[in-house]
Amino acid sequence: MKNFDARVVKTAAFGQWDAIIQRLAPEIPAAAFKKLGKHVACPIHSGGTKGDGFKLFKKDFAETGGGMCNTCGTFHDGFKLLMWLKGWDFPTTVEEVAGELGLKNSNDQREQRAINRDREAEIAAIRAQRLADEKAEDERIRGNLKRIWNESVPLTDPIAEPARLYLASRKIRIWDRPGLERAVRFHPSLNCYNEDQEFEGSFPTIVLLVCSEGRPATIHRHYLTPKGEKAPVENSKKMCEVPSDRQVTGGAVFTSMAAEVADVCEGLETALSIEMAMGIPVWPLVNATLLELFEPPKGVKAVRIWADKDVTETGIRAANALKARLWEKGIKCMVMIPSISIPEGAKGVDWADVWMTMGLFGFPQRPKAERVAS
């Protein structure tokens, strides 16, 4: 053990963490480096082969080496990230990073300390520029989110026919339910870009307001055709960008006011299907990752989780993880699993499929009490 000064090594690594982490942690999927901030499979709990819970920090990864997994936690710098990934202790991690920087002994460290002092002004300028760029980027993101929401209309508006056709094709006819317009609306024409930022066209879009910690965080989009079908794009459901001072983790699309009992699920169609069958508003949490990390608002004493049933069991695992965490907090919780089997060749089924195939007969008896107030 060469007893390297962690501060010297960390400063030397500033701006070079991308190359360092790639060499020391080849188990991280390459896609995470190709597009910083992109969610990929966790190299630990999913073996890097399935899921989308892990990412490297988009804004400052080269500076800090940080990243996070929605399940495993947040690692604010490269040392913490490598300790988690490799199982190393702190001195070993510092030595491994030092080796990647060409630091082999105390003489190298003395020379590097002098180099770091000479770089202080440069590093400060880089950080200041990043913060200025981040502020400008946040203003752009907020402006875009406000524009989308301000240009949207309730699903009852005459121009929202594509949204009504889409929901009607799924036997959902409660688009006029009072209060829904606070969280679910329609935009007549939104631009759509794929993962490589290639323009795919402009489409009618259902827009969902995602809130977290009591504040709006971002918008989730469902791109459609004028006839109410899914838009012919790489991914018809996408999340907008999120300002740096907001987060979607723990949040939801709050289609009703909170009460003592909350009902949650993954997608909008599932939420509205359950509402059709049960007469209780259900909050969509967008996907399995956000469902697992959901944080109920203050005053919620019980949660029903209407899980998706997937071949991979992703939905049920996420629901059970949320259930266990909520029980630990003293919040009663139960998981509702779809009552139909997964058809051969299908990826899974959800409660929207139950509604489509069985109607009321596929659902449990309607609760007579503890309904969530709309």
Domain boundaries, the chain: 6-126, 154-245, 249-374
pLDDT, residue 70, reads: 75
Nearest to 223 by CA among 246, 194, 183: 194
Which residue carries 């069958």 as its tokens?
A: 277
- State the DSSP code for 360: G
DSSP-assigned letter for residue 362: G
Distance in angstroms (rounded) separating the CA atoms of residues 184 and 157 = 12
Considering the entire predicted model, what is its pTM?
A: 0.81
Residue 195 is predicted with a pLDDT of: 80
Q: Hey, how many other C-beta atoms are within 10 angstroms of the C-beta on 284?
A: 25
Contact 203, 228 (CB under 8 A): no
Q: Count helices and strands (H / E) in the chain.
A: 12, 13
- For domain 249-374, the CATH class is alpha beta
pLDDT at residue 132 in the model: 92
> What is the reported pLDDT for 370?
42
To the nearest 10 degrees (0 to 180), the angle between helices 268-278 and 351-358 is: 50
Q: Compute mean pLDDT per 10 residues along the chain, 374 residues long, and list them.
A: 86 94 94 89 75 84 90 89 95 94 92 93 92 93 97 98 98 96 97 90 98 94 97 94 89 95 97 96 94 94 96 92 96 95 94 96 70 36
Predicted local confidence at residue 39, as pLDDT: 84
What is the layout of strands, in order, in the sheet containing 73-75? 54-56, 67-69, 73-75
Q: Which CATH architecture has domain 6-126?
A: Alpha-Beta Complex (3.90)
